[in-house]
Amino acid sequence: MLSDFTITRVRKSRIGEVDFDNLPFGYVFSDHMFTMAFADGRWHSPEIVPYGPIQLEPGAAMLHYGQTAFDGLKAFRGPDGVARIFRPEMNARRLHDSCAALCMPTVDAEVFCQAIVALIELDHAWIPQKEGQSLYIRPLLIGTEVHLDVRPDRTFRFFIISAPVGAYFDQSAGGVSLKAEDRYTRAAAVGGLGFAKTSANYAASMLAAEEAREEGFDQVLWLDSNEHRYVEEVGAMNIFFKIGGTVITPPLGGSILPGVTRDSLMTLLRDRGVPVEERRIAIDEVMDALRSGAMEEIFGAGTGAVVSPVARLQYRGEALALENVPGPLTRDLYAELTGIQTGRLPDRHGWNLRVPLPQAEAVAAAAR
C-alpha cells in the first residue's frame, strides 16, 4: 500500500501553452509525474515531481539490453464533475505479467492505482473535455543499474507520466487501412514476449510499419511467426472480424497482447447477445470473406485506438475494401464504450475508478 509520499509542484503550469483544440497523440505532457525507486529488494521513495528529464549513465544496462516494461490507460472527464480511470486494475495485472517475464520487480496493484489517482488529483485540469479526447496515462518501469553484464538489473525506477490526447487515427479518413505482413515477425510464438508490453516488441514492429506507411497503409496486420498464415493483431490494436453475424478475434496464446479494450468489447458483445469466437483465423479465410461479401465489418480495439473501423486490407498485393465503413456494430460499440468511460452511460460492470474533481474545476470545465 502506498503510504506517505512527497509532492513537489511545478512553479508555473504549462497548461496555458496547450492547444486543446488540436491535440496530437503523445507529444504534450502534463505538469507532474510519479516516481519511485527499487533497491535492496524493495520499493522506496515514492514521490510526485515536475515532469522533466531523468538522468541515466551511458552504462545503464537497460539502454543496452532493453529491460523495460510499460503500459497504457486513460482517464476521462465526465459531465458530472468526476474523472474516470478505465479499468486500471487490469492494466496493473498486465504490467505485473510483463515485468515478471522480464525479471523485473512487480508493482502492487493497489500502489499502482493509488499512484495514478494521486497524479490525477494533482493534474486533473489536464484532462481534456472534448469528445474523443482523454488523458493518456503511461506507467513505465526501467532498470537503472550500471553494468554491462548480461543479467537482470538489481535497481529499477517506476514512473507514471500522462499526456492529454486526441484520436490515435485520423477520424476523417473513414477507416484504417491495413497491410497483412507475411515476411517480418513482430513476436515469437508461445514462449516469447508477444504478450508483454516491452520495448522489444515495438522496436521489432517498426520496419514493417514504416514500409507499410510508405505504401499508403496506416498499420500492419501481423500474422503468426511459424507459418505467416494466421492473423494475430495490428501494431496498435487487437483485431475483430464480423462474418455471418459472428464476431471472431484471435485467441490469446502468448504472442498477442491481452488488450483491456479487447476484453471489454467481448463483454459488451456478449451483453448484446452477439456470438463471439476466440479462435485462430487464417488470412486466407479473411480474404475469402472479403471477396465473397460475407465479411460484414472489421474493427480494431486498443487503449489509444479505442474502436477503430478497418476500411481496407491488402495481402500479397491484393487490396480489398469494405463498404459502409464504419459498420453499425462498430459505431454502436464505440458509442457504448466511450459512453461508459465518460460517465454518459451506466457502468454496469464496475470498470471505472472514479476520482471526484474539485467543484471549482468542474464548473470551469463545463463552461469551457
Q: DSSP string of 19-36?
A: -TTS--SSS---SEEEEE
Asked if residue 162 lies in contact with residue 138, where contact means CB atoms within 8 angstroms, the answer is: yes
Predicted confidence (pLDDT) at residue 362 exceeds the cutoff of 50: no
Asked if residue 259 lies in contact with residue 238, where contact means CB atoms within 8 angstroms, the answer is: yes
What residue ranges define each of the domains in the chain, with the CATH number in brackets?
6-169+346-367 (3.30.470.10), 175-325 (3.20.10.10)
What pLDDT, on a 0 to 100 scale, did the predictor assign at position 358? 82
Q: Note the pLDDT tens digit of each residue in 237-265.
A: 999 999 999 999 999 988 899 999 999 99
- Residue 360 pLDDT grade (very low, low, confident, very high; cuts 50, 70, 90): very low
Q: Which residue has the higher pLDDT, 304 or 30?
A: 30
Q: Note the pLDDT tens digit of each residue in 156-193.
A: 999 999 999 987 766 556 799 999 999 998 887 677 88
How big is the chain by its Cα radius of gyration, in Å? 21
Give the predicted TM-score (pTM) of the model: 0.94
What pLDDT, on a 0 to 100 scale, did the predictor assign at position 170? 62
What pLDDT, on a 0 to 100 scale, did the predictor assign at position 205? 92
Positions of E strands within the chain: 6-7, 32-39, 42-50, 68-70, 73-77, 82-86, 134-143, 156-165, 176-181, 219-223, 231-234, 238-243, 246-249, 276-278, 295-302, 306-315, 318-321, 352-356
Q: Note the pLDDT tens digit of each residue in 29-81.
A: 999 999 999 999 999 999 999 999 999 999 999 999 999 999 999 999 999 98
What pLDDT, on a 0 to 100 scale, did the predictor assign at position 314? 98
Q: Above pLDDT 70, what percent of the chain?
A: 95
Q: Above pLDDT 90, what percent of the chain?
A: 83
Predicted confidence (pLDDT) at residue 336 exceeds the cutoff of 50: yes
Predicted confidence (pLDDT) at residue 293 exceeds the cutoff of 50: yes
The whole-chain average pLDDT of the chain stands at 93
Asked if residue 252 lies in contact with residue 213, where contact means CB atoms within 8 angstroms, the answer is: no
